[in-house]
Amino acid sequence: MAKTILFGEPMALLIADTEGPLEEVEHFTRALSGAEVNVAIGLSRLGHQVEYLTRLGDDPFGHYTEGVLKKNKIGTSFVTYDAVYRTGIQLKNRVTDGSDPMAPYYRKGSAASHISESEIDQIELSDVELIHVTGIPPALSEAARKATFRLIDRAKEAGIFLTFDPNLRPALWESEEVMKEVIAELAKKADLILPGIEECKRLIGKTDKQEIAEHYQAQGIPVVMIKDGANGAFVRERETSYTVPGYRVEKVVDTVGAGDGFAVGVISGILEGLDLRDCAKRGNAIGAIQVMNISDNEGLPDRESLEKFMQQ
């Protein structure tokens, strides 16, 4: 049994081989995307035992996805196939100047959006140490939303440490109000929340980090780590607050996956028993490494590369 479970929707990612508008690109390179799969890959590269929970389409992209998970030593015993609905697809244009790439996705009605509570109930949690959930699965459909709440409730019942990243995808939600309401309900069940500073502004109308942290702690969340890009991370645990500086980046190539890299650092640190300051420091390091690479997850380091970067 895996020590950590990631729940989400991996998508087949087609990255443009040349710069320019996507409609003018002739050739693409296939890869894999999805916030949770990025975290799974990052944890596995650092030597952690990970299981991925999702539903894939019984199609070429679905089988490709399972192959990539296995190649990255990620467990697939919680992966199911759907004979009717298909695996989601995402496109991404190529940027080299550090700007946010255009990355439209085609996932409405996907196989993952049809995952159910019954699949969650079939999972054995007796040997699970940590579960990481984001705000993406509950945005996919009502069924996936119920499955997300069921997974979190089962984790709480079993005393499993729960980390939550809002990871907002406004285009997937039926309304801004529903998004805020559901994210708030999910967040207050977590042991640690990892929001970005811009997400906080959208969710609770605050940009002052101390106020944000106090808001979430008032909801019953013990630890708050606020991601703020090059400024590093703001951490509040119990009644103590502090900032952990970010790392200098020589050249930002692609910002996609930076927040997921931060989550990898924090979660791996928790699993290894590091104090929260060192967890945030590792998160900043992996986030910095990731933005220097074009893919969503190819830049995620193994332990040797991570230690080398942090020492330098």
Please list the active-site residues: 260
pLDDT at 254: 67
CA-nearest of 42, 94, 34, 88 to 62 is 88
Summarize the confidence of residues 242-260 as an average pLDDT.
84
Where does the pLDDT of residue 2 fall: very low under 50, low under 70, confident under 90, or very high at 90 and above? low
pLDDT digit string (tens) for 284-303? 999 999 888 766 788 899 99
For every residue of 186-208, which 3-state class applies, written as one string?
A: HHCCCCEECCEHHHHHHHHCCCC
> Quick one: which H or E segment has residue 65?
helix 60-71
Where does the pLDDT of residue 312 fall: very low under 50, low under 70, confident under 90, or very high at 90 and above? confident
Please state the separation of Cα 238 from the chain's center in Å: 25
Whether pLDDT at 98 is above 70: no
**DSSP-based three-state secondary structure for 22:** helix
Summarize the confidence of residues 167-176 as an average pLDDT.
94
Summarize the confidence of residues 190-216 as an average pLDDT.
95
CA angle 196, 111, 10 (to 5 degrees): 40
Summarize the confidence of residues 17-23 as an average pLDDT.
91
Q: Evaluate whether 165 touches 258 at the Cβ level (below 8 Å).
A: no
140: CATH: 3.40.1190.20
- The domain total for the chain is 1
Distance, CA of 109 to CA of 51 (rounded, Å): 24
pLDDT digit string (tens) for 260-284? 999 999 999 999 999 999 999 999 9
Distance, CA of 124 to CA of 294 (rounded, Å): 36
Whether pLDDT at 1 is above 50: no
Sequence-separated (6 or more) residues with CB below 8 Å from residue 278: 269
DSSP state of 46: T
Q: Which domain holds residue 96?
A: 4-311
Whether pLDDT at 208 is above 90: yes
pLDDT at 249: 83
pLDDT digit string (tens) for 52-67? 999 999 999 999 999 9
For residue 117, what are the CA distances in angstroms to 54, 113, 143, 156, 163? 12, 12, 7, 16, 20
Whether pLDDT at 242 is above 50: yes
Whole-model pTM: value is 0.93
The average confidence (pLDDT) of the chain is 93
